[in-house]
Amino acid sequence: MNAYQHAYARALDDPEAFWREQAAHLDWYRFPQQITAREPSGHCRWFPDGLLNTCHLAVDRHVENGHGERCAILYDSPVSATQERISYRQLQQRVALCAGMLHALGVEKGDRVIIYMPMIPQAVVAMLACARLGAVHSVVFGGFSAAELAVRIDDARPKALLSASCGIEYERVVPYMPLLEKALELAKYPAQQVVIQQRPQCRAELREGREHDWEALLAAAEPVPPVPLLASDPLYILYTSGTTGKPKGVVRDNGGHAVALNFSMQALYDVQPGEVFWAASDIGWVVGHSYIVYAPLIRGCTTLLYEGKPVRTPDAGTFWRVIDEHRVNVFFTAPTAFRAIKREDPQVLLAKGRDLSCLKAVFVAGERLDPPTGEWLQGFLPCPVVDHWWQTETGWAIAGNPRGLGDYPMKSGSSSLPLPGYRLAILDDAGQPLPAGQPGNIALRLPLPPGTLSTLWGDPQRLVDSYLSQFEGYYCSGDGGYLDDDGYLFVMGRVDDVINVAGHRLSSGSLEEALAEHPAVAECAVVALPESLKGEVPVGFVVLKQGQQPDPAQLERELLALVRQAVGAVASLRRVFVLKRLPKTRSGKILRKTLRSLAVSPEVTPPPTIEDPTVLDELRTLFALAGCYAEQDAAKAATGH
């Protein structure tokens, strides 16, 4: 039995003993005697009687263990032409003072703090300072609209709100104060204390009384030590992207979270203390919480904090520059970032002269890694490219290639193997297990391992209704896919992205994989549109690589032929649209539901997570020229509706 099989079997057969061993790798004020506490729903709490502090694990213990001069944070901001190295000792001093600043404002254990900040070191310091006090932080992506920020303020009811005077999008400065002031006007429960980090690109005018200057408060603050907390005490609330109406606030506890993240850094990412780990995401998303801030620091690594984009900061070679310059050992980003780079620099000319030999592995998650992009990356990177799959709700990977537990073959299009602690099942719509190779609903047998969501903020019943009620004894992921004969997982996309053509269930992922094979295609998406005869028909959307200008009619014929060849005649696309860009969330996920809705009707409200709402105007024009709305108008006229 190899290391992975041994670990997986141990976590399956005796989860309490397995996770007790993992917990022993961390420093506790009181080591837990009780490892699990089951709830009636089948969910469970981990290490409920243990005492610890996440900030102590991430910062103080490394200083105490003689690693104070090791680099904790490498800050690289091409948009502001700024770089900074922060040691663990310096980070400890900054976090202790920031916690003192919050304490002076009346923030105590259990209070909520909203953090609405760009990718600057103060944002990481703020998260750790909240953890130090036992305050519950809720990071909202910097630049979210005032209305969406107000909804999150009202749900969390924070005692304080921490922000900055501005963010920077490419070369554009985005002032935050107008957004903050509008949000606080809209909120029923506005924060009474607002602290602003002034940035030189755009200084904010502060109102006396409620709004405070970050540096001025910090200068008067006294450092405070970490507060011992129960492992089951909440660490943070993170609102799921795409939420409408009342948001779903995923709550993460302190103990299970720290144990699981530390385990994942060793077992999955194979990162050692002192190595440089870079997750190119944003602290507003779960990847940023887990793998920019907490996991690398708990592990004793150097984490890279990057303020910029994969392209246009200044070009599509910026990732290679950062990896070379800072000697990154393990890199993690979303497939969409690589597709953006591939579109602008398909021959990877901007990587020439960059030494990437420091890389041990590149990990991708957030969307399925389509095989063409994976093959493109593997063609020039000196290390494995590893797809893995997880969710905001789980906080760490459900499936991946466990590089710290052995060297396992990878399969194109697969997220590899379920990680120890997760019991995967593929179920049909009635909740019955499906055989290998047959697609269905991806579900996780309860109880979930440590590190996954403990509840939904203020609404525990919604946790049951949203995730635990569809299949008894299981967490329903909402994603579809299948397991092959070797136990490898293939995630094919959200269940609501399945296309039903004349009774045949087709995965949008398999159709997109076929479209992406075309040498002119940089990115693509396939969605279902209603059709009277077949129920639904698949429609493709493609973005071409930089410099590609094929004949539109010929391109469409070639794309249709690729799909028919790869998937079969039943998957024949109704049409293919060539777009300048796809509508995406700020975290880079393609908004397939928005595409589907917009192709049917021009009256679509932009979702709050959309990166650039102006893309919808371009799409409306294209769909109108293609006659989509004319068809709908004719149908309405014929039926009198």
Residues 446 and 593 reside in one and the same domain: no
Residues 218, 101: one domain?
yes
Place of tokens 């990154």: 328
Please give the full DSSP string across 181-249, using - where no structure is assigned.
Answer: HHHHHH-SS--SEEEEE-BTTBPPPPPTTTEEEHHHHHHH----PPPPEETTSEEEEEEPTT--SS--E
Q: What is the rounded average pLDDT for all residues in the chain?
A: 91
- Give the domain-ending residue among 579, 614, 632: 579
- Please choose, from the candidates 249, 255, 375, 390, the residue with its C-alpha nearest in 3D space to the C-alpha of residue 332: 390
Which of 482, 516, 550 represents a domain boundary (last residue)?
482
Question: Looking at the structure, do residues 597 and 574 belong to the same domain, yes or no?
Answer: no
Q: Is 70 a member of any domain? A: yes
Query: In whole angstroms, what is the distance from residue 222 CA to residue 241 CA?
Result: 36
Instruction: Kindly state whether residue 336 falls inside one of the protein's structural domains.
Output: no
The CATH number of the domain holding residue 534 is 3.30.300.30
In a shared domain, residues 474 and 544? no
CATH classification at residue 263: 3.40.50.12780
444 found inside a domain: yes
Summarised one tens digit per residue, pLDDT across range 39-51 is 888 889 999 999 9
Same-domain check for residues 604 and 456:
no
Residue 154 included in any domain: yes
Whether residue 147 sits in one domain with residue 48? yes
pLDDT at 599: 80
Q: In what order do the strands lie in the sheet with 249-253?
A: 211-213, 193-197, 160-164, 112-116, 136-139, 234-239, 249-253, 455-456
Under DSSP, is residue 514 helix (H, G, I), strand (E, B) or coil? helix
Longest Cα–Cα distance in the chain? 78
For residue 532, the model assigns a pLDDT of 58
Whether residues 101 and 26 share a domain: the answer is yes
Question: How do residues 165-196 score in pLDDT, each as one tens digit?
Answer: 999 988 899 999 999 999 999 999 999 999 99
Strands 504-507 and 498-501, sheet pairing: antiparallel
Which of 14-28, 91-105, 574-588 has the weakest average pLDDT?
A: 574-588
Q: In 3D, which of 331, 336, 303, 335 has the Cα closest to residue 319?
A: 331
Would you state the pLDDT for residue 563? 84
Domain membership of residue 131 (yes or no) is yes
Instruction: Indicate if the pLDDT at residue 524 is higher than 60.
Output: yes
pLDDT of residue 496: 65
Which segment, 52-56, 583-587, 588-592, is predicted with the most confidence on average?
Answer: 52-56
Confidence band of 504 (pLDDT split at 50, 70, 90): low
Host domain of residue 36: 3-308+388-482
- At 256 the pLDDT is 98
Let me know if residue 461 belongs to a domain.
Answer: yes
Assign residue 435 a region: left if phi > 0, alpha if psi is -120 to 50, beta otherwise? beta
Q: Is the pLDDT higher at 512 or at 630?
A: 512
Q: Which residue has the higher pLDDT, 638 or 425?
A: 425
Do 36 and 160 share a structural domain? yes
With a pLDDT cut of 90, the percent of the chain lying above it is 71
- For the ranges 374-383, 409-418, 619-628, the lowest mean pLDDT is seen at 619-628
Buried b (16+ CB within 10 A) or exposed e, 442-471: bbbebbbbbbbbbbbbeeeeebbebbbebb
- 3-class secondary structure for 290-324? HHHHHHHHHHCCEEEEECCCCCCCCCCCHHHHHHH
CA torsion sign for 43, 46, 51, 54 is negative
Is residue 470, in this structure, part of any structural domain at all?
A: yes
- Please tell me the predicted confidence (pLDDT) of residue 203: 96
The pLDDT value given to residue 630: 65
**Is the Cβ–Cβ distance between 238 and 249 less than 8 Å?**
yes
Same structural domain, 519 and 463: no
Total structural domains within the chain: 3
C-alpha closest to that of 95 among 53, 65, 67: 53
- Say if residue 415's pLDDT is above 90: yes
pTM of the model: 0.85
Distance of alpha carbon 588 from alpha carbon 609, whole angstroms: 10
Tell me how far apart the alpha carbons of residues 475 and 490 are, in angstroms, rounded to a whole number: 18
Strands 166-169, 172-175: parallel, antiparallel or unpaired by DSSP?
antiparallel
Regarding whether 156 and 135 lie in a shared domain, the answer is yes
State whether 574 and 591 are in the same domain: no
Ordered DSSP codes for 11-48: HHH-HHHHHHHHHTTS--SB--S--EEE-TTS-EEEST
> Tokens in use for 582?
């796809």
Q: What is the DSSP letter of 511?
A: H
> Which residues make beta-bridge pairs with 212?
195
Tell me: pLDDT of 98 over 60. Answer: yes
Whether 350 is covered by a domain: the verdict is no
> What mean pLDDT comes out for the span 561-588?
79
Domain end position, chosen among 552, 579, 606: 579
Task: Label residue 640 by pLDDT band (50, 70, 90).
Answer: very low
pLDDT in the model for residue 568: 67
* pLDDT for position 639: 44
Share of the chain above pLDDT 70, in %: 94
Same domain, residue pair 545 and 408: no
